[in-house]
Each structure stands twice: as structure tokens, then as C-alpha cells.
Amino acid sequence: MNLVFIILCVLSTSHVTYGYTDNKVRRFKDGFMFGVATSAYQIEGAWNEDGKSESVWDRYTHAHPEDIADRINGDVACDSYHRYKRDVQMLRELGVDHYRFSVAWTRILPTGFKDEINEEGLRYYENLIDELLKYNIQPMVTLYHFDMPQSLQDLGGWTNPLIVNWFEDYARVLFDRFASKVKYWITINQPSSVCVDGFGDPALNVKENGDYTCVKYILLAHAKVYRLYENQFKSKHKGSVGISLDINWIDPYNKTTENDEAAERARSFKIGLYMNPIWSKHGDFPDKVKSIIAKKSEKQGLEQSRLPSLSADEIKLLKGSADFLGMNHYTTFLATPARDEHKSPSFADDLGVHLTHGAEWIASKSPWLKNAPYGIYKACVNINQEYDYPPVFITEHGWSTGPGRRDTRRVAVLTAYLAALLLAVEDGTELKGYTAWSLMDNVEWRAGTSERFGLYEVDFDSANRTRLVRTSGLVYKHIIESRDPGDGWMPSSYRINVSDRLQKREVREEL
């Protein structure tokens, strides 16, 4: 028995030996990768140091500090720009195989364009990558995680067709410098959050007119960068490139035809819109989404659909443009048809669905996040059915709390979701790895530090942003060692009921 296990036994009040009602032990295979994730704006700080320029989040939080829950923004954040060695030390303490972090475009290309390459910015990431490799931790690098250079946003950001070339220029600088060291690349984090949920341009919150234009060009930019790597770097460096999509599960609120349709519609708008062009047999946006938006647009007196079309060449560029699906999964929603009328044309109006949570589901500190572990299993099985078993990497999953290090709720959620994932693996998901959000508390966008996702707690009042491990960090370490999420401390109420799973045979037969 190691020390971590003894500490955990003392900390946990009720624990069972197995994570499943059939008492079967299920384990992640050797080679399965465990990691943790962060993003540049949320942890780095040093917002204007060493040549870094202003991003949309710098501009917005400086102009509207009143919009941020506790007025803590990314100016200093966790100060990882100066404390990255401590971050790597924590990664070693956890024993992770990979670390997913993002690069700030504004550190590399201060004008947004390739005319000026900032060596000091590159050196920061080089130091971090070297420190990771020194300890055999694989870097997984996200090129864009919500922090668009303000200079490019002023030119329309993701709604300007030229962004496809600008993003490719930026990616080339990173590939040229780091392709020999980085084997896992993620182009874009959560395009739906960027284009539809207001994370891409928090100040303008581009919606209504720009949302679908943004969807088109962000996907094309992704595909262009995928092809760049495929054509010029892959054979030499043997890395892989994916995209991280926001794939929360959506079920009908209860079994009625109306609710079934609402859930399916919501999945097409929130998942299919991004998955289909890359992974479906025919490429392109889902037919259902195309026809709903086209009809609405016509009624609204528009000559063309608000959803731009994809040309045959664009469809070809996009189809198959990912080596793996990065799945960011946090929760499940329950769908009913929307009853409220939207006055202006909008994504919400096109969607026409009201999303809620199960009344009995346990709540986190974030209003949108409740516990429903089976959702991750259903999302995986559905992806298999719809898109023919793509390789999947869970690139984010996490739980928010307030401050405090004894986070038993996060432990229960983490173990239950991992247990549910193992069932998905049994039912055919080609799961490469799991990445917990997040290594440490960080700046949770507009929620500041009021919602904390860290396996390490960060003291934002201390000058050196002290990081201390939470109970969940110790548990995660033990899971990484034992590869068994049910081993020791899962509360019995969180055990996964194996009889709720979709039967393996049914799943295969529907293909």
C-alpha cells in the first residue's frame, strides 16, 4: 500500500472496491494516456510581457472588469509564464503521460501576421516543451483556445475569409519550430463556443449575423492547417492533428416524439454541425441543419441562407481532416422544444430547443454543469454509430467547486466518468486517452476564479500563486498508477449500473 492510498482511505468516508454493479474490474490498457489540460489565457498571465500583444480577452476584461465575477482576469492568472517549472513539477507529481496546453497567438505573432515573429514568445513555449520532454511528458499543443489577437478581431476575426490563411501562417511558425518535439496537435478548441457562445469575441459577442460565417471559416482554417501538417510535416515527424469539439450529451427530457425530435435537432446543431464536415461519409453540414436554416432565412426575407454553403473543394478539404476527435465533455442536457419566441434571427431561434438538466442531478459550482456520468458513455456510442468509430481523445472533462482542498465531490465525479468511459471502450470506442480539466484553478473566463476546476488549488492572493494538491489530484495519481477508477474510493451511490448500458449487440447491429 502506498502513501497516497493510505491518505485516501483516511479521507474517504464510504468507499467500495468496484466501480460497477456487476463487480467486474475494468482497467485502462497500458498505453492509454492520462493527462491534464490548461489554456494560455487562463493560466499564463504576463499579458503584455516580452512582446506579447493584446488578445480579445485582454481588451474585453480591461474594458469591462465589472463583467468578471471577482474581477480576477488573465493579467497575472496563475503566473505560469514565470512559474512553468512548478507546473511541470505538479505534472510529475500526478504522473501524467501528457499535458495539454495552448499557445497564445499574440505571443508568437504580435501583429497577428507572420511579418513579425516574436522569438521571446517562442522561447517560452520551447522551454516549457523541453521541460516536459525531460520528464517524458508528451506535450499536446492547442493552437487556438479563444484568445484571438485583437488586431485580427478588428478585421473580423473568424468571420473574415482571410483568417484561413492567417491561421495557416501562424500554424506554420509553430510546426517549423516544434514539430520535431510535439506529436499531438489540436487546431481549435471548441468552435461552437467561439462562434455561438460568445467566447471568440466576448466584447462583441458576435451572434445573429456572424455565427454561421464563423463556423464555416473556423472549420476551413482547421482543415487548412491539418493539410499543412499532413503534406509537409507528417511523414518526417509522425505526429497527429485533431480538433477539440464541445460534445456534451443531449437526451430527450422524457420519451415523447416531440422531445426525441428536439434532442436530435439539438445534437445536429451542436455536434453534427462540426462533426459532419470532418467525419461523415458525405462531408458537408448536416442536411437537417441546412434545411432548417434555409427555410427560416427565406421566411426572414433573405435571399440566401444564413448558413453559408460549402463548395465541392471545401467539402473535400474538410473531409477526413483529423487524425483523432478531441472530445471535450462535461455534462448532459435534456431537450424539449422551445416555447419562447425569438424576435431576431439567431442560432437559438433556428435551434428551437430548450435545454435543462435532470432535477436530481448533483450540481457543481457552474450553473451549466451537473453530474450525469452515463452521458459520456452515450456520447461515445453515438459518435461510433454516426461516424464509424473515429479514434477519440477526451481532451477535457472536469468539475467545478469553490475553494478548498477536500473535493470529495470531484473525486466521485471523476471516478464515475472514467468508469463510464471504460464501458464505452468495451462497446467499441477507440479511446486513446483522457485529459482532466484542469491541472489547477485558473481564470474561468467571465466567472473569474469563482468556479474552480483544478486538481491543484491556487491561492490567487499569494504573490507566488501557491499551488497545493487537492484530494482529487491524489486520487487521479492513484488511478493513473492502478488504471482502475473503481479501485478503492468510489462512493457506492456513484457506481455505474451496467444494466443501463446499450447492449453491445444492439449497438453493433444498428451500424
Looking at 91-99, 186-194, 226-234, 352-360, which segment touches ligand BGC (CB under 6 A)?
186-194
User: What is the rounded CA–CA span in Å between residue 405 and residue 109?
Assistant: 38
| Helix axis angle, 3-11 to 471-482, nearest 10° | 130
Phi, psi of 80 (to 5 degrees): -65, -20
Site string (317-356) toward ligand BGC, x via CB under 6 A? -----------x----------------------------
Give min distance, CB of 41 to ligand BGC, in A.
8
Q: Which is nearer to ligand BGC, 173 or 188 (CB)?
A: 188
How far the first Cα of the chain sits from its last, in Å, is: 45
Contact segment (CB under 6 A) with ligand BGC among 189-197, 201-209, 342-350, 411-419 equals 189-197
Residues 379/247, Cβ–Cβ less than 8 Å: yes
Torsion angle defined by CA atoms of residues 130, 134, 136 and 142, in that order, rounded to the nearest 10 degrees: -10
Active site residues: 100, 190, 193, 328, 330, 396
Residue 472 interacts with ligand BGC (CB under 6 A): yes or no: no
Q: Is the peptide bond before 438 cis (omega within 30 degrees of 0)?
A: yes
Q: Tell me the C-alpha distance between 17 and 29, whole Å.
A: 19
Residues 38-97 close enough to bind ligand BGC by CB under 6 A: 39
Which backbone phi and psi does 291 adopt, to 5 degrees? -75, -35
CA dist 69 and 383 (Å) reads: 35
Cβ of residue 328: shortest distance to ligand BGC, in angstroms? 5
Size of the site for ligand BGC (CB under 6 A): 9
Minimum CB separation of residue 71 from ligand BGC in Å reads 18
Pick between residue 387 and residue 453 the one whose CB is nearest to ligand BGC: 453
Q: Which of residues 384-413 bind ligand BGC (CB under 6 A)?
A: 396
The distance of closest approach from Cβ of residue 134 to ligand BGC in the complex, given in angstroms and rounded to an integer, is 27
Which is closer to ligand BGC, CB of 249 or CB of 437? 437
Q: How far is the CB of 308 from ligand BGC (least distance, A)?
A: 25
Kindly tell me which of 12 and 450 has the beta carbon lying closer to ligand BGC. 450
Selected from 73, 153, 189, 435, the binder of ligand BGC by CB under 6 A is 189
Give least dist CB 437 to ligand BGC, A. 5
Closest by CA position to 241, among listed 182, 186, 189: 186
Exactly one of 118, 159, 187, 190 binds ligand BGC (CB under 6 A); that residue is 190
Residue matched to cell numbers 492567417 = 166
166 vs 445 by CB, closer to ligand BGC? 445
Identity of the residue, 396 or 487, whose beta carbon is nearer to ligand BGC in the bound complex: 396
Q: Which is nearer to ligand BGC, 39 or 138 (CB)?
A: 39
Q: Pick from 317, 292, 149: which is nearest to 217 by CA? A: 317
Calculate the alpha carbon distances from 204 to 61, 150, 159, 177, 289 in Å.
Answer: 13, 12, 13, 34, 25
Stretch of 19-27, 187-195, 250-258, 494-502 lying at the interface with ligand BGC (CB under 6 A): 187-195
DSSP 215-284: HHHHHHHHHHHHHHHHHHTHHHH--EEEEEEE--EEEESSS-HHHHHHHHHHHIIIIIHHHHHHHSSS-S
x/- map, 435-454, ligand BGC, by CB under 6 A: --x------x--------x-
For residues 135 and 96, is the Cβ–Cβ distance under 8 A?
A: no
Supply 432's cell numbers: 486513446
For residues 426 and 381, is the Cβ–Cβ distance under 8 A? no
DSSP secondary structure letter of residue 417: H
Pairing of strands 138-144, 33-37: unpaired
Stretch that binds ligand BGC, among 104-112, 188-196, 209-217, 353-361 (CB under 6 A): 188-196
> Shortest Cβ distance from residue 171 to ligand BGC (Å)?
19
Q: Which is nearer to ligand BGC, 39 or 471 (CB)?
A: 39
Identity of the amino acid at 111: T
Q: Which of residues 6-45 bind ligand BGC (CB under 6 A)?
A: 39
Q: How far is the CB of 8 from ligand BGC (least distance, A)?
A: 25
* C-alpha–C-alpha distance, residues 58 and 71, integer Å: 13
**Least distance (Å) between residue 247 CB and ligand BGC:** 10
Question: How many Cβ atoms sit within 10 Å of the Cβ of residue 495?
Answer: 20
Pick the piece of the chain touching ligand BGC (CB under 6 A) from 185-193, 204-212, 229-237, 263-271. Answer: 185-193
Q: How far apart are CA 391 and CA 432, in angstroms?
A: 7
Q: Which is nearer to ligand BGC, 191 or 277 (CB)?
A: 191
- 328 DSSP β-pair partners: 246, 396
Cβ-based neighbours of 117, under 8 Å, separated by 6 or more: 108, 109, 173
Which chain residues interact with ligand BGC by CB under 6 A? Answer: 39, 189-190, 193, 328, 396, 437, 444, 453
